[in-house]
Amino acid sequence: MQEKMASRSRILNRFYRGFFAVWVPAFGFLVRHAPMGFNYGIARGVMKLFLALRPKYEAAIRENLAQVVGEPADSARVREIAARMAFHHARYWIDFFTWSERGAVEARTQIRVIENREVLEQVMRGGKGMIAMTAHLGNWELGGLLLGDQAWELAVVYVPDRFEMIEEYRSAYRRKANITEIAITDGPFSAVEAMRVLRGGGVLAVQGDRDFNGQGVPAPFFGKTAHFPSGPAVLSMLSGAPIVPLFVLREEDVDGAGTGGFRIVVGEAIAPQGNVRNPDAVEAMVRRGVAAIEKVVRAYPDQWYCFYPFWKAPPGAAPRPENTNAPDGHLPPARSNAVRT
């Protein structure tokens, strides 16, 4: 999936790396010394400049949103939502930097409401662990900071960012928040670690909206087929832990200074059903998760951050593998395209 968004130009990729090498520490400094409203403005300017220099990304954003809202990509409504999405994505970074610096206790004061909190409490009392399935929606990175006190251990399964500077900062934040990191690059050891967390009653955070390795399950999404990771479903079926759709959404503020806070939306728990060796059972679980993601994207289309043509099938993607002993051809579960944070 990162290949879809990456440039093939070596010169451009070197520029990006140099840019992030300056940008990441610069915003780290600004969030410690400047008002949030000022930082939002700077980030918004950077985002506008980026989209002006790389128009293919703005075109992809509008193409995706056109499918979501059912209007042409050049319609006034789609353009408006796309503009808001770009601004929200700029705010995402400022929020991430700000609350990572200030810490969990202060960050939790920004929670305005937790919808369906009882679902979280019920699942945690069940003692089987929980797979918190989110998407590139709202501010998923802050989920661990805002809800880390809900479980004795919180682990994040992720595909490392291709820009090392960004991943180093994220990693430092996770360690500061006492979040366990499980990188997909760890190979089979990531499967062992993920199962350890779940069997110990912990929370495993995963992404459910991007097929990173081209082996995902096809499922309907806003009336058109896309491919989604089977990792959350496979992990749930192997461990017995339910999947709980969970999204951290940014509330609007009237002063532009970040006073809106966060709304945490919790979906209905998805209990594991069927045999993990049965592709139909895996696909059924994936589709239930996708339906939960679609519901929230429909309500918050301007907070779904996707900068590539989402419905374009990944290279080599197949509707379903012939080998029924390995759903999507990638057991153990760590070899599934589980998440990226």
> Of all helices (H) and strands (E), which one includes residue 264?
strand 262-266
- For residue range 24-35, what is the model confidence (pLDDT) as tens digits? 778 788 888 899
pLDDT of residue 262: 94
Residue 340 inside a domain? The answer is no
Is 93 inside a domain boundary?
yes
Helix (H) / strand (E) containing 236: helix 231-239
Q: Which amino acid is at 272?
A: P
Task: For residues 45 and 106, give the distance between their C-alpha atoms in angstroms, rounded to a whole number.
Answer: 27
Q: Before 321, cis peptide (omega within 30)?
A: no
Residue 227 within any structural domain of the chain: yes
What sign has the CA pseudo-torsion 115, 118, 121, 125?
negative
pLDDT band, residue 337 (cuts 50/70/90): very low
Q: Tens digits of per-residue pLDDT, 118-145? A: 999 999 889 899 999 999 999 988 888 8
* pLDDT exceeds 80 at position 335: no
The pLDDT value recorded for residue 329 is 30
Per the domain annotation, does 309 fall within a domain?
Answer: yes
Q: Is 75 exposed, middle or buried (0-12, 13-18, 19+ CB in 10 A)?
A: middle
Residue 2 has a pLDDT of 45
Q: Which residues pair with 114 in a beta bridge?
A: 264
Mean pLDDT of the chain: 84
Report which of residues 302 and 153 the model is more confident about. Answer: 302
CATH code of the domain containing 251: 3.40.1130
Task: List, for residues 76-122, the tens digit of each pLDDT value.
Answer: 999 999 999 999 999 998 998 898 888 888 888 999 999 999 999 99
Return the CA Rg of the chain. Answer: 19
Pick from 222, 235, 228: nearest CA to 210: 228
Orientation angle between helical segments 231-239 and 279-299, nearest 10 degrees: 120
| Residues 229-245, mean pLDDT to the nearest whole number | 95
pLDDT at residue number 264: 94
Q: Are residues 334 and 187 in contact, defined by beta-carbon separation less than 8 angstroms?
A: yes
Identify the pLDDT of residue 104.
Answer: 85
Q: Which amino acid is at 227?
A: H
Residues 178-230 pLDDT 10s:
888 998 775 667 888 999 999 999 999 999 998 877 788 999 999 999 999 99
Confidence of residue 250 (pLDDT cuts 50, 70, 90): very high
Q: Residue 260 belongs to what domain range?
A: 2-335
Look at 156 and 22; give whichever has higher pLDDT: 156
Q: How high is the pLDDT of residue 268?
A: 96
Domains in the chain, number = 1
Q: Phi-psi category of 328—alpha, beta or left, where left has phi over 0 and alpha has psi -120 to 50?
A: left
Region for residue 146 given its phi and psi (left: phi exceeds 0; alpha: psi -120 to 50; beta: otherwise):
alpha
Q: What is the 8-class DSSP label of residue 310? A: T
What mean pLDDT do residues 265-275 have? 96
- Residue 9: pLDDT above 60? yes
Single-letter code of the amino acid located at 107: A
For 7-21, the DSSP string reads -S-HHHHHHHHHHHH
Cβ-proximal residues to 239 (8 Å cutoff; 6+ apart), any chain: 128, 129, 195, 198, 199, 272
Q: Is the predicted pLDDT of residue 68 greater than 70, yes or no?
A: yes
Looking at 60-69, 163-172, 189-198, which range is the least confident one? Answer: 163-172
**Structural tokens at position 150:** 């809900």
pTM for this entry? 0.85
Mean pLDDT of 235-263: 87
pLDDT at 177 over 60: yes
Highest mean pLDDT among 189-193, 251-255, 277-281: 277-281
d(CA 193, CA 166): 24
What is the model's pLDDT at position 244? 97
**235: its two tokens:** 């992990």
Q: Are 157 and 319 in contact (CB under 8 A)?
A: no
Confidence at 75, pLDDT banded by 50, 70, 90: very high
Binning pLDDT at 50, 70 and 90, where does residue 312 land? confident
Neighbours of 200 (CB within 10 A): 13
* CB contact at 8 A, 29 and 279: no
CA distance 123 to 246: 13
Does the residue 202 lie in any domain? yes
From 315, 318, 239, 334, select the one nearest 279 (Cα to Cα).
Answer: 318
Q: Is 85 a member of any domain?
A: yes
The reported pLDDT for the residue numbered 339 is 37
